[in-house]
Amino acid sequence: MNNKYKRILLKLSGESLMGGQNFGIDSSMLKHYAAQIKELVDSGVEVAIVIGGGNIFRGLQAVESGIERVQGDYMGMLATVINGMALQSALESSGVYTRLVTAIEMKQIAEPYIRRRAVRHLEKGRVVIFSAGTGSPYFTTDSAAALRANEINAEVILKGTRVDGIYTADPEKDPTATKFDRISFSKVISMGLSVMDMTAFTLCQENNIPIIVFDINRHENLKRIIQGEMVGTLVE
């Protein structure tokens, strides 16, 4: 099959792993993602993944429980490593070679992040899962996704969400909200639409990395995007 993209960065939220639960990891969601990612790898696409930790711990919410912001952010980073390990297991169970890479050194379970090594893994057809965010507090996993996408020269960031693109308002709250098929970086900023946090978004804008926001829960969507179909919303 003819693929439009050769190297992608897939951004998954931690919440997407919860399925119907209130927290934690739903094994059926892991299998769902692993099956979709395997299809891409089998078609020759180089896949890097950044996954959030919101299903286990959110750094920003830690402040409310009396935990200092920096400490809370590090706890959130560790949550992304747990999710990365779970996704790695699911992928390897389906026959996909992976490498779990972390921005905080923990050599017993993951490789430290070294850019050239990560790129080499991708060239060899391994899925690289980037965990522990950027390794620094005050940066979200969106920022980590934008940073890693730039560093590995990914052609596009695919942001998997629960909604099928970017709307004029939250479609779950406003039934009159209309969807964009394409939108410019500057229009997203001027309209105040939340695609990624501003640090991540600006990094993509400055380095001309397009972002596609799409519904990750529909099985064919990832494959359709890779083949060049218009799915979700393209920000460029």
Question: Is the pLDDT confidence value at 58 over 80?
Answer: no
pLDDT digits (tens, 9 = 90+) for 142-163: 999 999 999 999 999 999 988 8
CATH number of 7-235: 3.40.1160.10
Angstrom distance (rounded) from CA 99 to CA 116: 14
Using a pLDDT cut of 90, give the percent of the chain over it: 75
Instruction: Give me the mean pLDDT over the 199-207 stretch.
Output: 93
What kind and span of H or E run contains 11? Answer: strand 7-12
Tell me the pLDDT tens digit for each residue of 7-37: 999 999 998 898 888 889 999 999 999 999 9
CA–CA gap between residue 88 and residue 99 (Å, rounded):
8
Q: Which residues pair with 131 in a beta bridge?
A: 102
Instruction: State CA 92 to chain mean position distance.
Output: 19
Look at residue 64 in the predicted model and tell me its pLDDT.
75
Beta bridge partners of 167: 179
Between vectors from CA 133 to CA 130 and to CA 137, what angle results, nearest 5°?
165
**Calpha distance 81→90 (Å, rounded):** 14
Query: What is the C-alpha separation between 64 and 229, in angstroms, rounded?
Result: 43
